[in-house]
Structure 1
């Protein structure tokens, strides 16, 4: 396994995500399957550019992550005392591995 580091600084997390075309997102709580809390996520590439318009034929609670502003994402990140585990930088490689963990 590649070496990792934990990011907690908001600006450093923003820059890491931006370098990989990542956006902050939140998947809504899904009580029917036992998930009572919204899930923080980072989405990348095409997923971060998907149209957020739900349309009349798509329910608003479909469970798809919603792209949010960084301020909203970091509010939950800080409230839950999380850290972002990422691979250490390797010259010439943009690894997008990441995992949110409790600090």
Structure 2
């Protein structure tokens, strides 16, 4: 990966997703104890039939409660925008 970055900044994450037309989402059926389960982004043309869109506040509340970090890439080696992203728990 070229220039892979990691952040916990809500502003950076939201900007990155919105620049790619992605919306915060979860995998239906992965919820537990009334909370979101698997966090994802729903990119245009991908996964929409499988993912359930959620609001940013709920997505970030889950992100923060789990103390996740967002690893992402701005561009591919050829300079085009990259959709690479991964949510990680730093203590795992």
Segments of structure 2 that go 5 or more residues without pairing to the other structure are none
May I ask how many residue pairs the two structures share in their alignment?
A: 85
TM-score w.r.t. the length of structure 2 is 0.77
Cα distance, 1:80–1:30 mapped onto 2, change above 3 Å: closer
Of structures 1 and 2, the larger Rg is shown by 1
Corresponding position of 2:38: 39
Corresponding position of 2:21: 21
Q: Name the CA distance, whole Å, in 1 between partners of 2:16 and 2:75.
A: 10
Is 1:99 the counterpart of 2:82 in the alignment?
no
1:86 to 49, 72, 78: 72
SS in 2 for 1:46: coil
Runs of 4+ that moved beyond 2 A: 88-92
Please report how far the alpha carbon of residue 46 of structure 1 lies from its aligned counterpart in structure 2 after TM superposition: 2.5
More helix by share: 1
Q: CA RMSD in A?
A: 2.5
Q: Name the CA distance, whole Å, in 1 between partners of 2:58 and 2:31.
A: 19
SS in 2 for 1:45: coil
Q: Name the CA distance, whole Å, in 2 between partners of 1:82 and 1:74.
A: 10
Please report how far the alpha carbon of residue 88 of structure 1 lies from its aligned counterpart in structure 2 after TM superposition: 4.5
